[in-house]
Amino acid sequence: MLRRPITLRVLSGLVVLAMGVLGMSLALVTGEIYHRLTLDNQRQDLSGLVGLAVGERIERLQEKSRSLGLSIQSDPTFERLLKAGDYSAVNHLLDDQFHQYFVTAGEIRLLQLRLFSSDFRLLAEAGEGVRGASAQKAACPGVLEAAKRRRGPQRLQSLSALCAAPLPLHSLIVPVGGLFLRGYLEVVVDPSPSLVGLDKTLGMPLRMQSVTGGELYRSASWPAAGSDHGALE
């Protein structure tokens, strides 16, 4: 039996139908791609915004740590004990800093204070949270090594670093003695409390965790796990 030839009208209809299906498929794929690109751009913008806010808070924390290091040096008792080489008494003086204004007022969460000679020999230390660190290394790896490599006027500058060991730490090396360098004071603090107020600054809930996955802070308004809140995280 001979098949009836496909008419031009039917052929045109099939072409239109195929183009319609192809167009709808292309629209769906294109829409999904643009949706993902939009989300990626929003995440990048959000990360940049958070990064700027975090950087500002860390700078403030660094200034507070430097102020603490300088205030210890301005204490006449510290100067007298340093000249006498009575590092046992310096230990007690450093211990007392954990009960002074910077700590009791919540300005910083002080973890450790260590005094080094100008050639980075450990002379005295006090800590309420970070103990057992090597005498040859700072709380954050590489800080003392970097300080040792400096020459000339660079040795009179402060040096800082952020690290996780495994909890977050901020280490600041402050020169002791001004132009007549006599040693270095390491101020180690927990940077987490300085970031807690970011949820109010940014107007969005905040969750912080350590590099090991342990939770450090969670805003009361943070969505429950598994909830379909339709928000970027």
Average pLDDT, the chain: 81
Q: Which letter does DSSP use for residue 153 in this model? A: G
Domain assignment present for residue 1? The answer is: no
Q: How far is CA 223 from the centre of its chain?
A: 23
pLDDT in tens, 148-175: 888 888 888 888 888 887 778 899 999 9
Whether the full predicted model's pTM is greater than 0.85, yes or no, is no
Q: In the beta sheet, which residues pair with residue 160?
A: 172
Domain of residue 17, CATH code: 3.30.450.20
Tell me if 179 sits within 8 A of 152, measured CB to CB.
Answer: no
Domain with 143, as residue range(s), is 13-220
Q: What are phi and psi of 198, to 5 degrees?
A: -65, -25
Compute the distance between CA of residue 158 and CA of residue 136 in angstroms, rounded to an integer: 18
pLDDT in tens, 111-140: 899 999 988 888 998 876 554 455 556 678
Burial of 26 (0-12, 13-18, 19+ CB in 10 A): exposed
Tell me if 188 sits within 8 A of 195, measured CB to CB.
Answer: no
Compute the distance between CA of residue 59 and CA of residue 75 in angstroms, rounded to an integer: 25
Domain assignment present for residue 229? The answer is: no
User: Where are the strands (E) in 99-164, listed by range?
Assistant: 109-117, 122-127, 159-164
Q: In the beta sheet, which residues pair with residue 113?
A: 126, 187
pLDDT in tens, 66-98: 999 999 999 999 999 999 999 999 999 999 888
Banded pLDDT at 31 (limits 50, 70, 90): low
Domain total in the chain: 1
Cα dist. 179→27, 121, 160, 224 in Å?
69, 20, 20, 55
Give me 20's structure tokens: 């319609």
Domain assignment present for residue 226? The answer is: no
Return the pLDDT at 137.
Answer: 60
